[in-house]
């Protein structure tokens, strides 16, 4: 049966998105000369994220596992689409894709030890071999390290979302919902504050939509919502009700900055790809790639239910 708390939370989120979408539609009608394309894209991707994580939260763990596995696959696929590659790199990408079902198999059987070392140890040590055997020496370090970065962020980081339910069958689904709500809330508030009232840009050369004002306001909002939501969705105590908001906010901030700089470096001279990437889910899961593993390991360290 569905958790009533999770259902109510998802309905509240859906209601908020409906209000936001209607408000955006009205504003666009009244201001046809202004460019609201960025907000329109974000609205569509937020709806997509709501669908994915509703499936991951409400349905059978196997359904959730497959939903999150496909999220990792498409995120990695979009990441690879921005890389400057040669024919010799395709075999490397194939091996990277094959690591996804294996990573999720370790989650399925609950083998935490292998789950935590499979990608950052075994896959990282193995990946250079097909590149070498493919007789590719030019650009070796760039192609291998770029592939490894993609696996760390889009597979290793995001796959933690699936391990919550394995580590804690009782609380895992609600913890994922709690994490996703706070992560997306932080991103939304940070974006809106940065765009409309933000002045001091953190890294203007890579992401002009991240400002210190946006980070500070979003951290306060996220922490406040975390404090009011933790007792409703999680078994955390009051201290971690506050700390969760701070931890997730800092993780989101780090993830957004790191992935922004990474994309900026990879997309130098690729204006067409940069425009297409604005519409992708990769730009919506950058914060999640950091917040999911960091929050998971902090909670696992301090609480027995994980």
pLDDT digits (tens, 9 = 90+) for 52-61: 767 766 666 7
Place of tokens 């391990």: 163
In this structure, what token pair is assigned to residue 215?
């980070």
Q: How confident is the model at residue 146 (pLDDT cuts 50, 70, 90)?
A: confident
For the CA atoms of 45, 47, 50, 55, what is the dihedral angle to 10 degrees? Answer: -100
Task: Please determine, for residue 25, whether its predicted confidence score (pLDDT) is greater than 60.
Answer: yes
As a whole number of Å, the CA-based R_g of the chain is 20
According to DSSP, residue 203 is labeled E
Distance CA(223)–CA(242), nearest Å, equals: 6
Long-range CB contacts (within 8 A, 24+) of 163-167? 163/107, 163/112, 163/115, 163/296, 164/296, 165/61, 165/64, 166/61, 166/107, 166/108, 166/110, 167/112, 167/296, 167/300, 167/306
Residues recorded for the chain: 306
Identify the CA nearest to 98 among candidates 78, 118, 121, 113: 118
Task: Please determine, for residue 113, whether its predicted confidence score (pLDDT) is greater than 90.
Answer: yes
Burial of 68 (0-12, 13-18, 19+ CB in 10 A): buried
The mean per-residue pLDDT over the stretch 195-222 comes to 84
The mean per-residue pLDDT over the stretch 191-201 comes to 83
Identify the CA nearest to 153 among candidates 257, 215, 75: 75
The mean per-residue pLDDT over the stretch 217-232 comes to 92
Distance CA(47)–CA(198), nearest Å, equals: 25
Q: 282, 75 in Cβ contact below 8 A?
A: yes
Distance CA(82)–CA(71), nearest Å, equals: 17
53 versus 28: the higher-pLDDT residue is 28
**Residue 203, beta-bridge partner list:** 207
Q: How confident is the model at residue 67 (pLDDT cuts 50, 70, 90)?
A: confident
- Check residue 82 and give its pLDDT: 80
Q: What angle do CA 94, 96, 102 make, to 5 degrees?
A: 110
- Check residue 246 and give its pLDDT: 95
The mean per-residue pLDDT over the stretch 44-69 comes to 74
Average per-residue pLDDT in the chain?
82
Q: 92, 127 in Cβ contact below 8 A?
A: yes
- Check residue 269 and give its pLDDT: 47
Task: Please determine, for residue 108, whether its predicted confidence score (pLDDT) is greater than 70.
Answer: yes
Kindly list the domain boundaries of the chain, sorted by start residue.
Answer: 4-302
Which of 72-76, 77-81, 161-165, 269-273 is the least confident region?
Answer: 269-273
Helix (H) or strand (E) holding 209: strand 207-211
Task: Please determine, for residue 28, whether its predicted confidence score (pLDDT) is greater than 70.
Answer: yes
Contacts of 159 (CB under 8 A, 6+ apart): 68, 72, 103, 104, 107, 115
Task: Please determine, for residue 166, whether its predicted confidence score (pLDDT) is greater than 50.
Answer: yes
| H-only helix segments in the chain | 4-30, 37-58, 61-81, 90-109, 112-117, 124-126, 128-133, 140-151, 158-167, 172-196, 212-233, 238-266, 271-277, 282-302
176 versus 8: the higher-pLDDT residue is 176
Burial of 162 (0-12, 13-18, 19+ CB in 10 A): buried
39 versus 50: the higher-pLDDT residue is 50
Distance CA(184)–CA(207), nearest Å, equals: 18
**Residue 66, beta-bridge partner list:** none
């Amino acid at each position: 049966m569905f958790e009533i708390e999770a259902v109510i939370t998802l309905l509240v989120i859906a209601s908020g998105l409906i209000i936001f979408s209607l408000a955006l539609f009205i504003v666009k009608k009244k201001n046809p000369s202004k460019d609201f394309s960025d907000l329109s894209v974000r609205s569509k991707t937020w709806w997509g994220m709501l669908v994915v994580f509703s499936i991951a939260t409400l349905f059978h763990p196997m359904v959730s596992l497959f939903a999150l596995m496909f999220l990792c696959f498409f995120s990695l696929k979009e990441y690879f689409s921005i890389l400057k590659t040669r024919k010799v790199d395709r075999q490397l990408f194939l091996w990277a894709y094959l690591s996804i079902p294996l990573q999720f198999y370790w989650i399925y059987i609950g083998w935490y030890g292998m789950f935590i070392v499979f990608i950052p140890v075994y896959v990282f040590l193995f990946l250079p071999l097909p590149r070498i055997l493919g007789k590719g020496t030019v650009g070796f370090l760039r192609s291998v390290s770029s592939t490894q970065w993609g696996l760390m962020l889009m597979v290793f980081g995001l796959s933690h979302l699936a391990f919550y339910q394995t580590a804690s069958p009782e609380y895992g689904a609600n913890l994922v919902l709690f994490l996703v709500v706070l992560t997306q809330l932080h991103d939304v508030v940070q974006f809106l504050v940065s765009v409309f009232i933000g002045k001091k840009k953190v890294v203007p050369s890579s992401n002009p939509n991240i400002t210190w004002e946006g980070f500070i306001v979003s951290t306060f909002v996220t922490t406040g919502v975390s404090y009011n939501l933790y007792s409703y969705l999680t078994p955390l105590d009051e201290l971690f009700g506050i700390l969760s908001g701070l931890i997730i906010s800092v993780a989101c901030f780090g993830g957004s900055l790191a992935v922004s700089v990474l994309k900026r470096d990879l997309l130098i001279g690729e204006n067409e790809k940069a425009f297409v990437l604005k519409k992708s889910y990769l730009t919506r899961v950058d914060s999640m790639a950091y917040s999911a593993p960091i929050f998971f390991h902090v909670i696992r360290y301090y609480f027995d239910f994980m």
